[in-house]
Amino acid sequence: MENRLEQAKAALAGEITFAAVLSDGTLITSEKKGIAPMMALLEEDKDILKGAYVADRVIGRAAALLMEKAGVAAAFGELVSSHALKAFGKSGIPFTYGKEADYIINRTKTGMCPMEQTVLDIEDAEEAYEALRKKLAELSVK
Protein backbone atom coordinates (compact mmCIF):
# COMPACT_ATOMS: atom_id res chain seq x y z
CA MET A 1 0.00 0.00 0.00
CA GLU A 2 2.58 2.53 1.15
CA ASN A 3 4.58 1.75 -1.97
CA ARG A 4 1.74 2.70 -4.36
CA LEU A 5 1.09 5.98 -2.56
CA GLU A 6 4.82 6.76 -2.73
CA GLN A 7 4.73 5.98 -6.46
CA ALA A 8 1.83 8.43 -6.95
CA LYS A 9 3.62 11.11 -4.86
CA ALA A 10 6.83 10.67 -6.88
CA ALA A 11 4.86 11.27 -10.09
CA LEU A 12 3.95 14.82 -8.94
CA ALA A 13 6.84 16.47 -10.74
CA GLY A 14 7.15 19.26 -13.29
CA GLU A 15 3.72 20.08 -14.71
CA ILE A 16 2.01 17.00 -13.24
CA THR A 17 -0.68 18.11 -10.77
CA PHE A 18 -2.49 14.79 -10.22
CA ALA A 19 -1.31 11.19 -10.12
CA ALA A 20 -3.10 7.95 -9.34
CA VAL A 21 -1.82 4.41 -9.12
CA LEU A 22 -4.83 2.27 -9.98
CA SER A 23 -5.68 -1.02 -8.28
CA ASP A 24 -4.04 -2.89 -11.19
CA GLY A 25 -0.81 -0.87 -10.77
CA THR A 26 -1.37 1.42 -13.78
CA LEU A 27 -0.16 5.01 -13.25
CA ILE A 28 -2.40 7.83 -14.51
CA THR A 29 -1.20 11.44 -14.43
CA SER A 30 -2.69 14.79 -15.39
CA GLU A 31 -1.55 18.38 -15.83
CA LYS A 32 -5.10 19.73 -15.40
CA LYS A 33 -5.80 21.93 -12.40
CA GLY A 34 -8.34 21.64 -9.62
CA ILE A 35 -10.84 18.79 -9.64
CA ALA A 36 -10.70 18.47 -13.46
CA PRO A 37 -8.59 15.27 -13.52
CA MET A 38 -10.87 13.44 -11.10
CA MET A 39 -14.09 14.69 -12.69
CA ALA A 40 -12.86 13.54 -16.12
CA LEU A 41 -11.89 10.10 -14.79
CA LEU A 42 -15.22 9.65 -12.96
CA GLU A 43 -17.19 10.72 -16.04
CA GLU A 44 -15.29 8.15 -18.10
CA ASP A 45 -15.61 5.27 -15.60
CA LYS A 46 -17.12 5.74 -12.13
CA ASP A 47 -15.10 2.78 -10.79
CA ILE A 48 -11.69 3.65 -12.26
CA LEU A 49 -10.33 5.13 -8.99
CA LYS A 50 -11.75 2.40 -6.72
CA GLY A 51 -8.81 1.17 -4.64
CA ALA A 52 -6.42 3.70 -6.23
CA TYR A 53 -3.66 5.62 -4.45
CA VAL A 54 -3.93 9.30 -5.32
CA ALA A 55 -1.50 12.21 -5.00
CA ASP A 56 -2.55 15.76 -5.82
CA ARG A 57 -0.87 19.16 -5.53
CA VAL A 58 -3.94 20.81 -3.95
CA ILE A 59 -6.82 19.07 -2.19
CA GLY A 60 -9.84 20.97 -1.03
CA ARG A 61 -13.15 19.66 0.28
CA ALA A 62 -14.43 19.09 -3.28
CA ALA A 63 -11.50 16.79 -4.14
CA ALA A 64 -11.74 14.98 -0.80
CA LEU A 65 -15.45 14.24 -1.36
CA LEU A 66 -14.75 13.10 -4.94
CA MET A 67 -12.11 10.72 -3.61
CA GLU A 68 -14.68 9.32 -1.18
CA LYS A 69 -17.19 8.84 -4.01
CA ALA A 70 -14.49 7.19 -6.12
CA GLY A 71 -13.46 4.81 -3.35
CA VAL A 72 -9.74 5.64 -3.31
CA ALA A 73 -7.58 3.54 -0.98
CA ALA A 74 -5.35 6.38 0.26
CA ALA A 75 -4.39 9.92 -0.70
CA PHE A 76 -1.67 12.55 -0.38
CA GLY A 77 -1.95 16.31 -0.91
CA GLU A 78 0.92 18.79 -1.06
CA LEU A 79 -1.52 21.47 0.15
CA VAL A 80 -4.80 20.60 1.83
CA SER A 81 -7.63 22.67 3.27
CA SER A 82 -8.95 22.18 6.79
CA HIS A 83 -12.35 21.50 5.13
CA ALA A 84 -10.76 18.60 3.20
CA LEU A 85 -9.22 17.21 6.39
CA LYS A 86 -12.68 17.11 8.00
CA ALA A 87 -14.07 15.26 4.96
CA PHE A 88 -11.20 12.74 5.05
CA GLY A 89 -11.78 12.26 8.78
CA LYS A 90 -15.40 11.32 8.12
CA SER A 91 -14.69 9.11 5.09
CA GLY A 92 -11.90 7.19 6.81
CA ILE A 93 -9.59 7.41 3.78
CA PRO A 94 -5.95 7.25 5.00
CA PHE A 95 -4.50 10.65 4.16
CA THR A 96 -1.17 12.47 4.45
CA TYR A 97 -0.23 16.01 3.43
CA GLY A 98 2.49 18.63 3.26
CA LYS A 99 0.85 21.93 4.30
CA GLU A 100 -2.57 22.86 5.63
CA ALA A 101 -4.55 25.98 4.71
CA ASP A 102 -7.83 27.28 6.14
CA TYR A 103 -9.35 26.97 2.67
CA ILE A 104 -8.34 26.65 -0.97
CA ILE A 105 -8.04 30.04 -2.64
CA ASN A 106 -9.55 30.73 -6.07
CA ARG A 107 -7.36 31.28 -9.13
CA THR A 108 -7.72 35.07 -9.00
CA LYS A 109 -6.65 34.97 -5.33
CA THR A 110 -9.71 36.98 -4.28
CA GLY A 111 -11.51 34.42 -2.13
CA MET A 112 -12.41 30.77 -1.70
CA CYS A 113 -12.21 28.30 -4.57
CA PRO A 114 -15.71 28.03 -6.09
CA MET A 115 -15.55 24.21 -5.97
CA GLU A 116 -14.77 24.18 -2.25
CA GLN A 117 -17.48 26.80 -1.68
CA THR A 118 -19.98 24.63 -3.58
CA VAL A 119 -19.55 21.64 -1.26
CA LEU A 120 -18.87 23.41 2.05
CA ASP A 121 -22.15 22.28 3.59
CA ILE A 122 -22.49 18.96 1.74
CA GLU A 123 -21.64 15.77 3.63
CA ASP A 124 -22.75 13.15 1.09
CA ALA A 125 -20.14 12.31 -1.58
CA GLU A 126 -22.74 11.51 -4.25
CA GLU A 127 -24.57 14.79 -3.62
CA ALA A 128 -21.24 16.65 -3.75
CA TYR A 129 -20.41 15.06 -7.12
CA GLU A 130 -23.76 16.19 -8.59
CA ALA A 131 -23.35 19.73 -7.14
CA LEU A 132 -19.84 19.95 -8.62
CA ARG A 133 -20.99 18.75 -12.04
CA LYS A 134 -23.65 21.46 -12.00
CA LYS A 135 -21.18 24.15 -10.87
CA LEU A 136 -18.64 23.17 -13.57
CA ALA A 137 -21.38 23.35 -16.21
CA GLU A 138 -22.36 26.83 -14.97
CA LEU A 139 -18.75 28.03 -15.04
CA SER A 140 -18.10 26.64 -18.53
CA VAL A 141 -21.00 28.75 -19.86
CA LYS A 142 -19.50 32.00 -18.49
* Angstrom distance (rounded) from CA 72 to CA 23: 9
Cα 6 to chain centroid, rounded: 17
Does residue 45 contact residue 102 with C-beta atoms inside 8 Å?
no
CA atoms lying within 13 Å on the CB side of residue 42? 20
pLDDT tens digit sequence for 77-104 = 999 999 999 999 999 999 999 999 999 9
What pLDDT score does 2 carry?
Answer: 67
For residue 1, what pLDDT is reported? 57
Low-confidence ranges of the chain (pLDDT < 70): 1-2, 142
Q: What is the percent of the chain where pLDDT is above 70? A: 98
Q: What percent of the chain has pLDDT over 90?
A: 95
Q: Please report the beta strands in the chain, taking only residues with DSSP state E, as ranges in sequence order.
A: 18-21, 27-30, 53-59, 74-81, 95-101
| Domains present along the chain, CATH in parentheses | 2-141 (3.40.140.30)
Please give the model's pTM, rounded to 2 decimal places: 0.95
